[in-house]
């Protein structure tokens, strides 16, 4: 039997790609031109959450049956078109929740305690020769606001409790959570929070939700953490607020135009930056990749999909 042909848009772990190579003829995406002769035979796509499927690629694959996303974000895939064309879409929920929440906490501690500056101070041999880095800010007990109380938001809230942080959140509706206060208005949440963490999905509905007004409400002693999508924040307004000191600081794992990061952000002493690494651990990337493999296998065996969005 001939193997189904799939397009791999974003590389995965060697262990995962080995499984894909065993089951499929895998075309590793390089350019649209590469698709010219094979487009009609591509039945599946494996890709990353932020990478998704460029519209031009989707348009050029008439035989596409399934898009298996190695992540939880669907904002880089045209779901409307997928529905119209009966293309299945799967994600990897659950398995990355802990890692993303850990990264949020890591960014909070790193930012407030100034870990990167302290590390550089020791590394560069400045200890004992130059003035010590400025004092940090206490993490324990800070008022935490969470934007988006899905699985990741809740995992962050759960961790925050061991830092004695009072937790409030905003979402599309009151989720009636026993331990966490719902605040319907984001600006009000920002005003009453000392740390605001973004854990909401990306896409048109949440674009620039965190704008200048929200940043002003968070204020000069407030800290913004983003482990969700860069698009949720107006990055220009963020850079200006950091530059002007109207926002205390930011811990960012995601950006509006990855892998481009605004120069103001890269040079700011008020930020801790990560290259979209929240789910990037061996354990989690294996679990995610295995879900991608299993969803594709289920589809081509005519079995029900494990974690289908469509």
Structure token digits, residue 182: 């719902």
Nearest to ligand 8YV of 4, 73 (CB atom)? 73
Identify which range of 20-28, 66-74, 121-129, 214-222 contacts ligand 8YV by CB under 6 A. Answer: 66-74
Check residue 279 for interaction with ligand 8YV (CB under 6 A).
Answer: yes
Question: Catalytic residue among 27, 88, 154, 276, which?
Answer: 276
Tell me how far apart the terminal alpha carbons of the chain are, to the nearest angstrom. 28
- Whether 186 and 147 have beta carbons less than 8 Å apart is answered as yes
Nearest to ligand 8YV of 7, 139 (CB atom): 7
Provide, rounded to whole angstroms, the least separation between the CB of residue 224 and ligand 8YV.
Answer: 19
CB 228, min distance to ligand 8YV, A? 9
Binding-residue total with ligand 8YV (CB under 6 A): 11
Residue whose token pair is 């348009």: 59
CA atoms lying within 13 Å on the CB side of residue 61? 28
194: annotated active-site residue: no
Contact call for residues 203 and 231 (beta carbons, < 8 A): yes
Which residue number, 73 or 145, has a Cβ lying nearer to ligand 8YV?
Answer: 73
Give Cα 89 to chain centroid, integer Å.
18
Show Cβ contacts of residue 84 under 8 Å, excluding neighbours closer than 6 positions: none
In 3-state terms, what secondary structure has residue 117?
Answer: helix
Task: Report if residue 114 touches ligand 8YV, rule: CB under 6 A.
Answer: no
**Selected binder of ligand 8YV within 44, 48, 145, 248 (CB under 6 A):** 48
Indicate the pairing of strand 88-90 with strand 66-70.
parallel
Among the listed ranges 22-30, 67-75, 209-217, 295-303, the one in contact with ligand 8YV (CB under 6 A) is: 67-75
Q: Which CB, 99 or 171, lies closer to ligand 8YV? A: 99
Q: Which of residues 116-175 bind ligand 8YV (CB under 6 A)?
A: none
- Tokens 């469509």 label which residue? 310
In the residue annotation, 229 being an active-site residue is answered as: yes
Residue 59 binding ligand 8YV, by CB under 6 A: no
Q: Per CB under 6 A, does 103 bind ligand 8YV?
A: no
Peptide linkage before 259 cis (omega within 30 of 0): yes
Is residue 182 within a helix (H) or strand (E), and if so which, with residue range? strand 181-182
Q: Which two tokens stand for residue 304?
A: 């029900």
Mask of contacts with ligand 8YV, 1-40, x by CB under 6 A?
---------x------------------------------
- Contact between residue 307 and residue 91 where contact means Cβ atoms under 8 Å apart: yes
Q: How many other CB atoms are found less than 10 A from the CB of residue 6?
A: 24
Among 19, 68, 70, 110, binds ligand 8YV (CB under 6 A): 70
The tokens of 253 are what? Answer: 């794992």
Residue 230 in contact with ligand 8YV, rule: CB under 6 A = no
Query: Residue 178: how many CB atoms within 10 A of its CB?
Result: 4
Instruction: Please say if 27 is a catalytic residue.
Output: no
Binding segment (CB under 6 A) for ligand 8YV, from list 45-53, 55-63, 78-86, 238-246: 45-53
Which of 16, 39, 46, 50 lies at the binding interface for ligand 8YV (CB under 6 A)?
Answer: 50
Nearest to ligand 8YV of 268, 281 (CB atom): 281
SS3 257: strand
Note the residues at the interface with ligand 8YV (CB under 6 A).
10, 48-50, 70-73, 96, 276, 279
């Amino acid at each position: 039997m001939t193997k189904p042909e799939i397009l791999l848009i974003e590389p995965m772990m060697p262990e995962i790609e080995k499984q894909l190579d065993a089951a499929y003829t895998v075309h590793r995406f390089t350019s649209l031109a590469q698709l010219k002769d094979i487009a009609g035979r591509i039945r599946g796509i494996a890709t990353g959450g932020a990478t998704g499927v460029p519209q031009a690629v989707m348009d050029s694959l008439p035989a596409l049956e399934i898009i298996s996303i190695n992540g939880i974000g669907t904002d880089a895939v045209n779901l409307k078109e997928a529905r119209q064309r009966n293309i299945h879409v799967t994600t990897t929920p659950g398995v990355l929740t802990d890692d993303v929440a850990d990264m949020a906490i890591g960014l909070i501690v790193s930012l407030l305690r100034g870990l990167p500056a302290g590390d550089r101070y020791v590394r560069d041999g400045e200890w004992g020769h130059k003035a010590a880095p400025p004092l940090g800010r206490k993490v324990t007990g800070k008022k935490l606001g969470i934007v988006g109380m899905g699985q990741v938001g809740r995992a962050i809230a759960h961790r925050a409790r061991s830092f004695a942080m009072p937790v409030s959140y905003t979402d599309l509706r009151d989720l009636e959570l026993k331990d966490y206060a719902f605040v319907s208005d984001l600006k009000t949440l920002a005003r009453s929070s000392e740390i605001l963490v973004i854990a909401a999905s990306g896409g048109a509905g949440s674009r620039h939700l965190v704008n200048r007004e929200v940043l002003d409400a968070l204020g000069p002693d407030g800290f913004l953490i983003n482990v969700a999508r860069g698009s949720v924040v107006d990055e220009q307004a963020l850079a200006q607020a950091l530059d002007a000191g109207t926002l205390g600081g930011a811990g960012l794992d995601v950006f509006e135009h990855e892998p481009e990061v605004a120069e103001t952000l890269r040079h700011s002493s008020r930020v801790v930056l990560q290259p979209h690494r929240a789910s990037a651990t061996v354990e989690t990337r294996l679990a995610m990749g295995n879900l991608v493999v299993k969803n594709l296998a289920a589809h081509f065996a005519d079995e029900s999909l494990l974690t289908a969005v469509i």
